[in-house]
Amino acid sequence: MTVTYIPTIGRGEENYDVAQIARKVREGVVYSPEDQVILYAGWPQVKDYSGRTHTADLTVVSNHHGVKLVKFSPSSSSTDLKKDALSILQAAATTEALLGKSLELKKKRKLIFDVVPILFAPNFSGTDIGTDEIELARSEVEIIRLLAESDNELSTEQQAEVQAIIEGAKALGQIGEKDDTDLIDPVARAFNDLEAIIYNFDATQRAVALTSINGPQRIRGLAGTGKTVILAMKAALAHIENPNAKILITYYTRSLRDVIERLITRFHRHFAETDPNWDNIHVRHGWGRSNLPGVYRDTCVREGRSPKSFNDVRGAKNPFGAVCQEIVQSNAISEFYDIILVDEGQDFPDSFYQMCFYLAKGTRDEKQIIWAYDELQNVFDVQVREPELLFGTDSDGQPRISLLRSLPAGTDTNDFVLQRSYRNQREVLVLAHSLGFGVYSDVVQMLENAKHWEDVGYEVISGTFDTGSENVVERPLRNSPSILHSPEGIPIASTRAATDFDQEVSFAVEEIKFFIDHGIAPHQIMVISLDDRVARSYFSRISKDLNNHNIVSNNIIKDTYSEPPFRIDGMVTMSTVYRAKGNEAAVVIVVGADAAVLRTRTGRNKIFVAMTRSKAWLRIMGVNSKTFKQMQREFDTAIENSPRIKFTMPDMNQLNTIQRGLEEKHARILEAKRRMEKMKNELNLSDDDLNSLIEE
């Protein structure tokens, strides 16, 4: 027997009698060894037409016993019991209606199993509770008997469908474009089939989204493991649970706001059938601007302080860290939010986390701060920072946030690791790791040991991971289950070398037109420039050429002072790596790859982030050069070895020392280029003028 237990956000203070029933189910007292059981505490939560919330204290989904919802009623009053009976009946009716939308679960227009509402009333001695549509249990023996009653047997696929609907995965399906007609083109059909897999949102991810812990939580996983989706679902469910609670969900990449708001809306509509109240759910960029709200800016305004802009702290080593540090040290931050959710946690400075600590209500071990962290996507730093470092030390010398210290008794974990990546094709993810680390050239960064590789979803095939050892890891299909059946002759990933800038632009336009002609929507195509210096030139030329084919583009870096939606229906998205983080597309076309700095972590991380935006196809382009030829060699080797990665373990101490020097040099070079560009514009100099000046 397998019992999956999910203590959800709606469980509240657990009643002793309910906890006892849950314990007996988990220990195997109720069900047989062959049963597959999912047990929810405090779920589902639904709203009626009057806006009232109805919740089951326990819900059981079993392959042999259907769906059973239990509500505990401690009262002996028939009036109170009738109220509780109607509430669990409403929860069951709404759940049944949701399940009834799936044809897989119906036969002759009816569900193939019953959704059974049960009222557990151990203190009630009467017989009439005003309705005969629910089952009444007055003792533990009676409720165990009712839970154990068999129903029509569910197949594995049917049980998974029930679970996906109850847990809200079906809300995600509304985001994708669905075509009711047969898709004739095999490219479009392949992507449509892939999206059906991606949007199912696996049981592990949904369990993390539903699980509620009275205290801080960390969620870790690779790109595409669903961290943003999980945080959006948590925000929606918390809002349904307590519509008056102040909820913050914050992010680093400005273009993420539209994505997060759409996700929250989808989940809220799925469970509550209404739109959320945005007065109480704040989707905020970390910093903000004069015309855009942000966590830092909002905090300053509430506390009567003048928020600082980037220009005010331009000279600081970490400008955002500096402004957050200043307000933290001012002791001027008042508690404001009941729940704080942080996406892209790897990109925020420590002082931002400390600001969030003071913004969150409650004692330190009960502060509802949940942060999602991708240890391999940070374009600035590859190291994982532990909570004790992120949040700093309290006045008593203890860490402000300690996951171990705040873990409630009886709770399995508050540090969730997501290993399955649904966004990327296995081939693309292995390729991105290979090039991101530089394993088939000069290694620039590396995971520390075998356990770290396993945490991100790989299996260790061989090797000791000692300095100089030869190691082999492999990504199993179970951790990259989204399989694209690309038509013959259309590779999932490929590179293409151009003779010059003009030909590279032509290659990019050719690829875009090919995919659109084969049924991929323009907004499912993303162009990413790895060359920040000429990104505007790339996008301007590509946009102009696309217009000649009546294809419209959305250049999100065109206006640096706004926060435009990243994806606009009917438009091809064009973005730098930094704006693309956290977003995705069916087709990703990387241009300017010859500008990648392969000797630095920053350069390698940019390649990794660009590649992992792709859900289906990846095209990498650059002008033929020494750098691009090296990238192509690494690309070909990675494809040949996929799904395995083979590497020699570097000396981590030496690697870190070398990389610090290279990164500092790289930063100085970038600053020199910026100043030269500024001087060229101010003095109206040409590139030849500058080259002559340097030669002299």
- pLDDT at 211 exceeding the cut of 60: yes
Q: What is the CATH number of the domain that holds 346?
A: 3.40.50.300
For 340-397, the DSSP string reads EEESSGGGS-HHHHHHHHHHB-S-GGG-EEEEEE-TTT-SS--PPPPHHHHH-B-TTS
Same domain? 81 vs 219: no
The average pLDDT across 448-474 equals 91
In a domain, 331, yes or no: yes
Between 280 and 578, whose confidence is greater?
280
3-state secondary structure (DSSP) of residue 496: strand
User: Do 291 and 309 belong to one domain?
Assistant: yes
- Asked which of 391, 418, 445 is the last residue of a domain, the reply is 418
Strands (DSSP E) found in 374-518: 415-418, 459-462, 470-474, 493-498
Read off the pLDDT of each residue in 12-36 and give the average, rounded to a whole number.
81
This prediction's pTM: 0.73
Residue 553: which H helix or E strand, with range? strand 552-555
Would you say residue 531 lies in a domain?
A: yes
Q: What are the DSSP E strand ranges found in 112-197?
A: 115-120, 135-137
Amino acid at 407: L
Residue 298: predicted pLDDT: 96
pLDDT for res 659: 44
pLDDT of residue 55: 87
> How confident is the model at residue 586, as a pLDDT?
95
pLDDT band at 376; cut points 50, 70, 90: low
Q: What pLDDT sits at residue 174? A: 45
Which of 418, 435, 453 terminates a domain? The answer is 418
pLDDT at 485 exceeding the cut of 80: yes
| Any domain includes 374 | yes
DSSP state of 8: B
430 plus 414 within the same structural domain: no
Residue pair 610/530 in contact by the 8 Å Cβ criterion? yes
Are 30 and 157 within one domain? yes
**Encoded tokens for 50:** 């009057």
Q: Grade residue 2 by pLDDT with cuts at 50, 70 and 90.
A: confident
Which domain-ending residue is among 364, 394, 418? Answer: 418
pLDDT at residue 353 in the model: 96
- Tokens for 71, please give them: 């509500």
Confidence of residue 328 (pLDDT cuts 50, 70, 90): very high
Write out the residue range of the structural domain in which residue 328 sits. Answer: 203-418
Q: Is there a single domain that holds both residue 315 and residue 411?
A: yes
Number of domains in the chain: 4
Omega within 30 of 0 (cis) for the link into 408: no
Mean model confidence pLDDT for the chain: 86
For residues 215 and 235, state if they share a domain. Answer: yes
Do residues 248 and 338 both lie within one domain? yes
In a domain, 336, yes or no: yes
Q: Is residue 194 part of a domain?
A: no
Over residues 629-637, the mean pLDDT reads 97
Residues 275 and 405 in one domain: yes
- What are the tens digits of pLDDT across the range 511-561? 999 999 999 999 999 999 999 889 999 999 999 999 999 999 999 888 766
pLDDT at residue number 468: 94
Residue found under tokens 């792709």: 614
User: CA–CA separation, 420 vs 203, rounded Å?
Assistant: 11
Contact (Cβ atoms closer than 8 angstroms) between residue 424 and residue 482: yes
Question: How far, in Å, CA of 56 to CA of 89, rounded?
Answer: 10
More confident residue, 618 or 64: 618
Residue 304 within any structural domain of the chain: yes
As given in the structure block, the two tokens for residue 79 are: 């009036």
pLDDT at residue 119 in the model: 92
Tokens 């943003």 found at: 228
pLDDT band at 420 (very low <50, low <70, confident <90, very high): confident
Q: What percent of the chain has pLDDT over 90?
A: 46
Same domain assignment for residues 549 and 681: no
Residues 6+ apart with CB under 8 A from 576: 528, 529, 532, 535, 557
- Indicate if 241 and 118 belong to the same structural domain: no
User: Could you tell me where the DSSP H helices lie in 518-651?
Assistant: 535-547, 577-580, 601-611, 626-641
The H or E element containing residue 550 is none
Q: Contact at 8 Å (CB) between 254 and 343? A: no
Residue 7's DSSP bridge partners are 41
Same domain as 268, residue 223: yes
Q: Is residue 187 part of a domain?
A: no
Q: Domain check: are 53 and 88 in the same one?
A: yes
- 461 within domain boundaries: yes
